[in-house]
Amino acid sequence: MKDQDLEALLQDLSVEEKVYQLIQYQGANYSDDAVLTGLLDQNHITPHELGMAGSTLCIWGADKLKKIQDAAMAIQPHHIPMLFMLDVIHGHRTVFPCPLALGATFSPELVEECAAVAAREAAAEGIHVTFAPMADLVRDARWGRCMESTGEDPYLNGRMAAAMVRGFQGDDLRNPDHIAACVKHFAGYGAAVAGMDYQNVELSEHTLREYYLPAYQAGIEAGAKMVMTGFHTYNGLPCTGNAWLMRDILRGEMGFDGVLISDYCAVNEMVSHGLCEDLRDAARVAMENGVDIDMEGRSYAAALIGLVEDGTIPMARLDEAVRRVLKLKNALGLFEDPYHGASETQAKAVVRTEEHRALARRAVTQSLVLLKNDDAILPLRPGKIAFIGPYLEDADLRSAWSFSGEAADNRSVRAAVKAQAVRAGWEVRFSQGSTLLDNGTRHALGVYRNDDFLLENQRLCAEAVELARWADTVVLCLGEHRLQTGEAASRVWLRLPEVQQKLFSAVAAENPRIAVLLFSGRPLVLGEMAEQAKAVLACWMPGTEGGDGIVDVLSGSVSPSGKVTMAFPFAEGQEPMCYNGYSTGRPQVPGGPSEYTSRYLDCPNAPRYPFGYGLSYTTFTLSEVSLSAKQMTKKEMITVHAKLENTGTVAGTEVVQLYLQDLVGSRVRPVKALKGFQKVSLQPGERVDVQFTITEEMLRFYTARNRFESEPGVFRVYVGTDSSVEEYLEFRLVEEG
Ligand code: GLC
């Protein structure tokens, strides 16, 4: 539809029609098999209201949504099509590794491909908008939603958020293979106090700008059509009612003119927050702060017509919100094709194709992080191998945010091992070893209870010990439950369940040659297991092709190349942690005094595994790091050179990382900041020159003058294979001559 026709349509709408374009009822009101991602308000909604609503969420299926669309458009006086939205966070029916794992690939290109496939599958099943990318920076592994983030670094998160937006949206949303992206949760949701979900966020404006805003901005600059508010308060105001965040920063500084949607019930939750007295007040505040769509909140449904009719909310503000929603529908081509090309035929043609599964398998192999590999126990050589653990049989290797995937589509580690054992020369035996959870453990959707827990685990453990005695090597498949991560899944203890720790100890007492496959949605505290196991491979929540991708790496068909994107602590008490914090006035200096310095008495400052860390089956050396100049003006650039060599005996891939440090600033500066990375694959003995270009733009920050700019002075350049790199070179940024 032409813009002028869209405007004419807007002006022709009644107040009721306009308001209902801003209302989003939960999908369960339209279909029994919708997924609930929050509590469902049981207040009955009439069919008329359901048909008048501008959008719904959490249902998918071509025929189902086409029927809902037809019914809604028949009720709509102007036959305006609905928007169908869903959390397609890391895949639709082909489920990719969770975002924390996708980040570990350090491959924005691969992540863009995965998002494009997710969009193709979701669009074929009737989805128009995904509530992704989640661009929240995370530093606290107690927070359950780390799994949805790509980690602790602003630059990596920005590259990944932009890649996902490009993958989801493509060049033209009218293309039936693409869906609109929604950057969330604006802003700073990952910094919830004490890692407790929905909690307050206490960040200075400077910290918010330095670390948390860049990734949202990158997603918006990549063209994201929607942004979602966070549940939390910032500066004493819920995001959904926070004019500074929503109007000054999002609309003003970032220039975002797309649709702003609240998170689930976040509008009416401003009453619980204590900002608003009732739903009418909440609707007023949200509208005044630029929230266009009220997700399942019922505030707009309860009060917005009255607020407009009594002049509390000007018609111009209502029109501004409705115009954005209609423009999004128009960008998707819904006025010409309300189904956006969805059909059961199309869905059958694109869902979980061999090509999609092959991509998912490749994503798994690139997301696995080899944390330890003593005696080169991996890849597994031919011989007797015992595969043991509660994750062995579990085919449901999806994260908590992959509703539309199905466990039945996945091959478990066990099934994948059986498929490859002969070719790999493995004589294999299997044992569950233990239950996944301790009895009485709470997870996000309930409590695990097992009346036979003790006897069952005694039996399972004894069987596992027998197998360990028989085997040359043991592979232990351990981890946290998928529902122990995700929303409302904060935890204070980040260790493996006690029953799994007992299994590990019993097996290790019998056979020390153990490789652990670690399944988790966050960094865990590994304790003795990390000391005693010969190898640890972080597998995260690997998705549909998890089993096969993992075995590809275990067999050596693919050398692991993933890198940690969120530090693994030694202890929960270290959280929150990050590599790119500030020096403090009393930093611990290698070889310097420890008394009266910034440190813990009972734990190292450093994480067990830092950002950017990950091993390969081969070895690499970085050498001859050089700078093309010792100084540069703001108009000049400096080229960084480094030699990377594969000094091992097998092919492998390394991620060369560029970090900069601004030694002196009008505000203190991070001790390191990732500014570039290159993923390089080399054959044994191969040696290449890796180059980076340093530009003045990379040196900018939010200065004490409250401007985003660079300042003259000395900078350190670190080129390494993880964030603990210590060697550096220096250059000076000088004023123009
Ligand atoms: C949830 C999440 C948000 C999600 C939304 C819709 O509460 O916070 O990330 O997109 O509801 O499912």
Q: Residue with the nearest Cα to atom 12 of ligand 1?
A: 37
- Alpha-carbon distance 731 to 392, whole Å? 52
- Alpha-carbon distance 295 to 261, whole Å? 7
Q: Residue with the nearest Cα to atom 7 of ligand 1?
A: 264
Closest CA to 230 of 136, 315, 105: 136
Contact 386, 413 (CB under 8 A): no
Which ligand 1 atom is at minimum distance from the Cα of 131?
10
Laid out side by side, the sheet with 259-261 consists of 182-186, 226-229, 259-261
Helix, strand, or coil here: 702? strand
Q: Ligand 1 center to residue 565 CA distance, Å?
A: 23
- Alpha-carbon distance 522 to 482, whole Å? 11
Contacts of 703 (CB under 8 A, 6+ apart): 665, 666, 667, 709, 711
Which ligand 1 atom is at minimum distance from the Cα of 58?
12
pLDDT at 729: 98
Contact 64, 32 (CB under 8 A): no
* pLDDT, tens digit, 9 for 90 and up, residues 11-21: 999 999 999 99
Contact 517, 413 (CB under 8 A): yes
411 HSE (CA, 13 A, CB side): 17
Q: Ligand 1 center to residue 229 CA distance, Å?
A: 10
Quick one: pLDDT band at residue 590, thresholds 50, 70, 90? confident
* φ and ψ at residue 468, rounded to 5 degrees: -65, -35
Q: Residue with the nearest Cα to atom 10 of ligand 1?
A: 131
Q: Ligand 1 center to residue 580 CA distance, Å?
A: 29
Which has the minimum average pLDDT: 322-326, 403-407, 469-473, 492-496? 403-407
Percent of the chain with pLDDT over 90: 95
Helix, strand, or coil here: 623? strand
Rg value, the chain, Cα: 26
* pLDDT, tens digit, 9 for 90 and up, residues 707-728: 999 999 999 999 999 999 999 9
Which ligand 1 atom is at minimum distance from the Cα of 132?
10
Contact 572, 608 (CB under 8 A): no
Percent of the chain with pLDDT over 70: 100
- 479: β partners: 519
Token pair of 736 as six digits: 């123009």
pLDDT at 297 over 80: no
Ligand 1 pocket, mutate which of 179, 231, 263, 403 (most atoms under 8 A from CB): 263
Token pair of 163 as six digits: 């890649």
Contact 564, 612 (CB under 8 A): yes
The H or E element containing residue 733 is strand 729-733
Q: Ligand 1 center to residue 57 CA distance, Å?
A: 10
Ligand 1 pocket, mutate which of 145, 229, 264, 399 (most atoms under 8 A from CB): 264
Contact 152, 566 (CB under 8 A): yes
Domains in the chain (CATH in brackets) are 3-347 (3.20.20.300), 354-566 (3.40.50.1700), 620-733 (2.60.40.10)
- Alpha-carbon distance 482 to 394, whole Å? 11
Closest CA to 149 of 487, 610, 581, 525: 487
Q: What is the mean pLDDT of the chain?
A: 97
Contact 533, 346 (CB under 8 A): no
| Mean predicted confidence (pLDDT) in 38-60 | 91
| Mean predicted confidence (pLDDT) in 144-163 | 98
pLDDT at 288 over 80: yes
Helix, strand, or coil here: 508? helix
Which ligand 1 atom is at minimum distance from the Cα of 182?
10
| Ligand 1 shell residues, CB under 6 Å | 37-38, 57-58, 87, 131, 184, 263-264, 487
- Alpha-carbon distance 123 to 30, whole Å? 19
Quick one: pLDDT band at residue 41, thresholds 50, 70, 90? confident
Which ligand 1 atom is at minimum distance from the Cα of 265?
7
* pLDDT, tens digit, 9 for 90 and up, residues 201-231: 999 999 999 999 999 999 999 999 999 999 9
How would you write 378-411 as a 3-class SS string? CCCCCEEEEEECCCCCCCCCCCCCCCCCCHHHCC
Closest CA to 107 of 167, 189, 54: 167
Ligand 1 pocket, mutate which of 24, 26, 36, 37 (most atoms under 8 A from CB): 37
Is 3 exposed, middle or buried, given 0-12, 13-18 or 19+ CB atoms closer than 10 A? Answer: exposed
Which ligand 1 atom is at minimum distance from the Cα of 38?
7
| Mean predicted confidence (pLDDT) in 269-291 | 98
Q: Ligand 1 center to residue 87 CA distance, Å?
A: 7
Report, as residue numbers or ranges, the catalytic residues.
Answer: 263
pLDDT at 26: 94
* φ and ψ at residue 139, rounded to 5 degrees: -130, -5
Q: Ligand 1 center to residue 155 CA distance, Å?
A: 24
pLDDT at 80 over 80: yes
Going along 535-686, which residue ranges are E strands?
535-538, 620-627, 631-632, 638-646, 652-662, 673-682
Ligand 1 pocket, mutate which of 41, 90, 131 (most atoms under 8 A from CB): 131
pLDDT at 737 over 70: no
- Alpha-carbon distance 337 to 128, whole Å? 12
Contact 128, 332 (CB under 8 A): yes
Q: Ligand 1 center to residue 37 CA distance, Å?
A: 6
Q: Residue with the nearest Cα to atom 3 of ligand 1?
A: 263
Contact 17, 80 (CB under 8 A): yes
Kind of pairing between the strands at 638-646 and 620-627: antiparallel
Closest CA to 387 of 420, 361, 412, 417: 417
Quick one: pLDDT band at residue 40, thresholds 50, 70, 90? confident
| Mean predicted confidence (pLDDT) in 643-652 | 98
The one-letter amino acid at 615: L
Closest CA to 464 of 390, 556, 563: 390
- Alpha-carbon distance 517 to 364, whole Å? 13
The H or E element containing residue 453 is helix 453-470
Q: Ligand 1 center to residue 168 CA distance, Å?
A: 18
Q: How many CB atoms lie within 10 A of CB 163?
A: 26
Kind of pairing between the strands at 673-682 and 708-709: unpaired
Contact 657, 723 (CB under 8 A): yes
Contact 489, 197 (CB under 8 A): yes
The H or E element containing residue 260 is strand 259-261
